Amino acid sequence: MTWSSILIQLLNGLAGAASLFLVSAGLSLIFGVTRIVNFAHGSLYMLGLYGAYTLIETFGRTPLGFWSGVALAALLVGLAGALIEVAILRRIYRAPELFQLLATFAVVLVIKDIALFAWGPEDLVGPRAPGLRTPVEIFDKRIPLYDLVLIGIGPLVLGILWLLLTRTRWGTLVRAATQDREMVAALGVDQARLFTSVFFAGSVLAGLGGALQIPREPANLELDLSVIADAFVVTVVGGLGSIPGAFLAAIMIGVAKAFCIGIGTVQWFGVEIAFSKLTLVVEFLIMGLVLIIRPYGLLGRPPAQQRHSGEPAPPLVPPGWKVAAVWLVPLLLLPAAGDRYLVVLATDIACFALFAASLHLIMGPAGMVSFGHAAYFGIGAYAAGLLFKRAGLPMEAALALAPLAAGFAALIYGWFCVRLSGVYLAMLTLAFAQISWSIAFQWDSFTGGSNGIVGVWPAAWLASKTAYFYLALAVAAGGIALLWRVLFSPFGATLRAGRDSPLRLEAIGVELRRYQWAAFVLVGALAGAAGALFAFSKGSLSPSVISIALSTDALIMVLLGGVDTLTGPLAGAALFTWLRDEVARRTEFWRAVMGLVILAIVLIFPQGLVGGVKALVARWRRARA
């Protein structure tokens, strides 16, 4: 590379960093004050991009039309964010934090379908910035003038935010609330209004980040989750709640990505390395490195001990045989009904129930929320597919070995993850899932790339849907029984104690991390078993089995059913799988329907379905007594 091309890549990276910084700053601001990890933040960015497209088409492709379109799109997205806060989140601030996360997942689903309905499934290529189209020559290389403007916008917004936060009463209140929002309320500040204003400001930043990308990136429906993953990485690398940190991190990641594209494929000592393929992974590699060296990000500090008003998790009740029989007997008799569709659906549910139960152990009793649990499901599925197709193992052997592969991945990923806690841990799990996904997606020659692997069929004796259903049921029931057995063993008690008071546990001489690490491996292996089971039931697999979307599906299942109960995740998996199947057969907009159903449940049963039903039963009993 010559010096001039290095400079060009640097400028390219800095231009890309601007939007990344805007969206991450908004996420950071919202998290700081409301403690909500807003998964819908990427969706707001996407809306900004689509909104700018439409508004610029309406106003005309003139400089005035372009910039007023961008500004209006950002403002409208800000209003949308404020509406989400007022209509949904405000009602559940007293619910457990994870439930607020579930609500934002639902918003993601709804916004995706709103965009699909309003703008259609095709990518929309926006106009180049009018008046800024002429490229500038720098050292005989050309760079669009618009990119240089973007490079200036990043620091400009950083400066404006800094002034707002340090020189205005609103900023003082925001910073105070970031530390202790209850005390701010006790001093007479209306929290609800403060939260709405913060949601508005954060959403404007997301919308602006999206709108400014319109000349550089086509508007498409995949942006919501890919942007939220990027924003998580930037926020975590920079340090949660630190806006200058987000700025630094956005630049680091933007520049690293630009260089990966710029370097392209090179030969090093006879080995061909395709740097351009690393773009998807590089930010996650940076994040992994930064978190190992500075667990709270570049400019972050250890999170202040939060005063949470939520009640502690209730003790778990061990399941009885009677309860298990009530569930198992009808399931065993299910194929007798003779409905082939029902058997296939029940097989799916069995796979996802095991998947959800494994996620439940790690996020509920062990207190380590994973945003990337699909990593283990997917690695299990891929291991099964690869062992079967590439290694030529019999199906039974592939199915039996797949959990070991997933467990091995969890052994490596978990070693890093247990060093962190809370939101940082969750985001690191997402990063690992995304790395796994990128490998599966890009390693065409081995994993089949985006096509995945086909022809992954079960052995002859399991070929019938009914036989396979019994296999799935047996594996799922066995796996779930194992998980529950572990939960009520001394090992499980240690995990639960570690969730409630890690310091006290350390003080009595327990090295909590080892237990958490072991739990990671166990749930990874069982999620892998679920993935392998799923792959053979479908006969094929694609990178979607490791996608962020599947990770969030699993979170929805657990949270929908209720994280404080054992059977909740199973009920959640069944309900979610069945509902998605039913709705998807009837309408193209099944995501919106699912999202609205989830929102309804969140608002009516803030403890999850099973938790809510239990509370109802308890109230009914009290009323009778």
Partner 1 sequence: MLAVRGLHAHYGQAHILADVELEVGEGEVVALLGRNGAGKSTTLKTVSGLLPASAGEVHFLDRRIERLPPHRIARLGLGYVPEDRRIFTDLTVMENLEVGRQPGRAGAPSWDEAKLFALFPNLAAMRDRPGGRMSGGEQQMLTIARTLMGNPRCLLLDEPSEGLAPLIVEQMAAAISTLKREGLSVLLCEQNLHFARSVADRAYIIESGRMRFSGTMAALAADPALREQYLSV
Q: Which residues contribute to the site for partner 1 (CB under 8 A)?
A: 169, 172-173, 175-176, 179-180, 182-191, 311-312
Of 373 and 499, the one with the shorter C-beta distance to partner 1 is: 499
Min CB(314)–partner 1 separation in Å:
10
The Cβ of residue 204 has, within 10 Å, a number of other Cβ atoms equal to: 24
The Cβ of residue 619 has, within 10 Å, a number of other Cβ atoms equal to: 10
Paired tokens of 169: 């009463």
Of 397 and 615, the one with the shorter C-beta distance to partner 1 is: 615
Of 188 and 338, the one with the shorter C-beta distance to partner 1 is: 188
Min CB(361)–partner 1 separation in Å:
25
Of 312 and 539, the one with the shorter C-beta distance to partner 1 is: 312
Taking the mean position of all CA atoms in its chain, how far away is CA 185?
A: 31
Min CB(556)–partner 1 separation in Å:
28
Backbone angles phi, psi at 456, to 5 degrees: -95, 80
Of 64 and 317, the one with the shorter C-beta distance to partner 1 is: 317
Min CB(28)–partner 1 separation in Å:
15
Min CB(90)–partner 1 separation in Å:
12
Of 192 and 337, the one with the shorter C-beta distance to partner 1 is: 192
Of 169 and 585, the one with the shorter C-beta distance to partner 1 is: 169
The Cβ of residue 604 has, within 10 Å, a number of other Cβ atoms equal to: 9
Min CB(157)–partner 1 separation in Å:
22
Of 196 and 220, the one with the shorter C-beta distance to partner 1 is: 196
User: CA-CA distances (angstroms) from residue 414 to 1, 420, 524, 560, 620?
Assistant: 38, 10, 9, 25, 43
Min CB(241)–partner 1 separation in Å:
10
Report angle CA 264, 268, 272 to the nearest 5 degrees. Answer: 55
SS3 per-residue string spanning 375-415: HHHHHHHHHHHHHHHCCCCCHHHHHHHHHHHHHHHHHHHHH
Q: Which residue has the tokens 């990671």?
A: 520
Helix axis angle, 223-238 relative to 97-119, nearest 10°? 140
Closest CA to 29 of 188, 136, 187, 170: 170
Report angle CA 544, 548, 550 to the nearest 5 degrees. Answer: 60
**Ramachandran class of 188: left when φ > 0, alpha when ψ lies in -120 to 50, beta otherwise:** left
Min CB(198)–partner 1 separation in Å:
15
Closest CA to 532 of 388, 332, 390: 388
Length of the chain: 625
Of 270 and 315, the one with the shorter C-beta distance to partner 1 is: 315
DSSP 129: P
Of 54 and 191, the one with the shorter C-beta distance to partner 1 is: 191
**CA-CA distance, 594 to 493, in Å (whole number)?**
35
Closest CA to 90 of 196, 202, 197: 196
Of 196 and 537, the one with the shorter C-beta distance to partner 1 is: 196
Closest CA to 144 of 11, 22, 4, 10: 11
Q: Which residues pair with 454 in a beta bridge?
A: 540
Identify whether the C-beta of residue 76 lies closer than 8 Å to the C-beta of residue 207. yes
Q: Which residues pair with 84 in a beta bridge?
A: none
Min CB(184)–partner 1 separation in Å:
6
Backbone angles phi, psi at 267, to 5 degrees: -100, 120
Paired tokens of 548: 């962020």
Min CB(161)–partner 1 separation in Å:
16
DSSP 371: S
Of 61 and 175, the one with the shorter C-beta distance to partner 1 is: 175
DSSP 266: E
Question: Beta 271-274 vs 141-144: how paired, if at all?
Answer: unpaired
CA atoms in the 13 A half-sphere facing the CB of 283: 34
Min CB(188)–partner 1 separation in Å:
4
Min CB(166)–partner 1 separation in Å:
9
Of 2 and 172, the one with the shorter C-beta distance to partner 1 is: 172
Of 181 and 360, the one with the shorter C-beta distance to partner 1 is: 181
Min CB(488)–partner 1 separation in Å:
23
Min CB(242)–partner 1 separation in Å:
11
Give the DSSP H/E element, type plus range, for residue 444: helix 444-447
